[in-house]
Structure 1
C-alpha cells in the first residue's frame, strides 16, 4: 500500500490539564496532567496508525520541546521525519473538566525561514508516491506566505499523491488556489476564510479557487461534501456521543483518508469520518481511539449511513 505522508506545519507539545471545574480568575487544582506530541497532523498520524494505515509524520521541530516530540514519536513507533527549525517548538494547553467544552490555549509558534520550507517541500517530494496521500493539517507558523504552501502541495501532487488540506484562514485559501484534491475545513472556517454567509457559498468559492472537493465538518450536524462536478454528499454524526471533542476533527480526517486509501468512494469515506471522529470523542486525549468502539458506534447510525461491515480497515 502506498504510504500516507502527514505534514504538521506547526507542531506542539500538547498538555492536557484535568480539573474538577473550569473557573476564570481563581486558583484551580489540577487532578491529572497528560503530555504528548501534538498538532493536528500528529493527531491524524496517531489515528491512522490505529487504523492500520502506513503513515509518515513530517514536521519541523526545534529546541528542547522539539527534541522531546521527536523522541516521543520514536518511542511510540511512529515513522517520523524531522526538518530542523530554529527556536523552540510551541506548547498548547487544554483544560478539561468533563462538564463544558475544553478550554484551549495555543501558542502561535515561531516563523519558519525559507530554508526550512525548502527542506519540507524536498521531504514531501521524496516521501510521497503514486497512489498515496499527502495530508497537510493544522495551523501554520506566523508569517507563512501562500507560496510556501503551494510549493508543498505541488511537490506532493508531482509525486503522484492526492493532497488533502485540513487548515483554515489564508492557508485554506492558499490550499484551494494550489489545487488540493480535498480541502477539509469546519463550517465556521469555510465561511470565515471565504467571507461568505452560507456554507453552500463557501464551498462553491473554494471550488472556484481550484479545490477538487470540499469536505466540511459540522460537529453534531455531521459532515457534508461538494465535488467539482456538483455532486453533493451529506453524512450524519453518530448520535448520543459525549466526551472530549478535542481532536475529533483530526480523527475524522484520518477516517476519511483511511477509507479513500482502501479504495472506497467519497461517500463511504464520510461514513468512516463520522464513526472515527465519534470514537475520538470517547477517548481521553486527542489523537487516540479504541478501534473496538467503531462497530457499536457505526450501529448507532441509520442503516444507509453506516460504513460497510465487515470492516475494510484492520481492527487491532
Structure 2
C-alpha cells in the first residue's frame, strides 16, 4: 500500500520544518510513503530547498512546479502526480508528530471511511493579542453538522483515492485565490456519497504568521468563509428555501452586531461578536453575485497586531 503525502507551498521557509516532520512519520503496517511538494510560485523558488531537505529524509520526495498563485492548481498537480491508494494533505506552515499518518489511517480503516480530517492546532507567537489567543481563531478543528461530517480542510486530511466519490474530482480553479476550495471539494464529495470522519488524536501544528494577527485579516477570512458556507447551504434549494436561509443569516448578522455594540470597550467579546456578524454577512451575501475576496497568492503581510 502506498500513501502519498501532499504539500502545496508558496514562498514559505517553514516548508523545511514541515518536510522534516514528515520524514519522521511512522508508516502504518504494510505501507510505504512518499512526499509530493507542489510549488505554486511563478518561478520554482522552493526547488532547491525541497531537493536539499529531501536528500536527508528516509522518504522519497517528488518536487513539482505548479505555477502560479492559485492554490487549486497546486492541489490538482498533487492529485495528478499521486499514485497511492491514499493521499494525505498538510500545509507548508504545519508540522506533524511522528504518529500522524498512522493515527489518521487507523481511524479511516477502522471506521471504513473515504476521508478523515484532524485538528490543525495554532501555535501563537509571544506578540499575539490576548483577544486572539483566548478565542483561538487560527486553529482549525473539523466539525459535524447534525452528527455528520459534511466537509473538511486540506490542512490535515487523508483521502482514499480509489473511492468512487473522489474519482476524477479536482479542486475548482475559481476558488484558488479566495480560499474555500477544499471546503467545496469535500462538500462535493459528501454529496457524491463520501463517508468522512474526524481523528481527534491526529493533530498537526501551525506556527501563526504575525501578519495574520490582525482583526482586518480575520474579518476578510470570516466574510469569505460566510460566503462559502452560504453557497453550500443554498445549493439545490428552492427559491423559497434560499430566501428563508438568507433571512436567517441577516437576522443573525443583526443580532451579532447588536451584541458586539453592547460589549462596548471589552475587546475580546466585542471582536468575537463582530466577527460572527461578518461571517453571517458573508452567508447573507452568498445569494448574490459577489466575488469572493482573495486571501492567497501572496505571503501574509507583517504588521502590528490590533
Larger relative contact order, structure 1 or 2 (CA cutoff 8 Å, min sep 6): 2
Normalized per residue, which structure has more strand? 1
* TM-based fold match above 0.5: no
Larger Rg: 2
TM-score (norm 2): 0.32
The alignment's TM-score, normalised by the length of structure 1, stands at 0.31
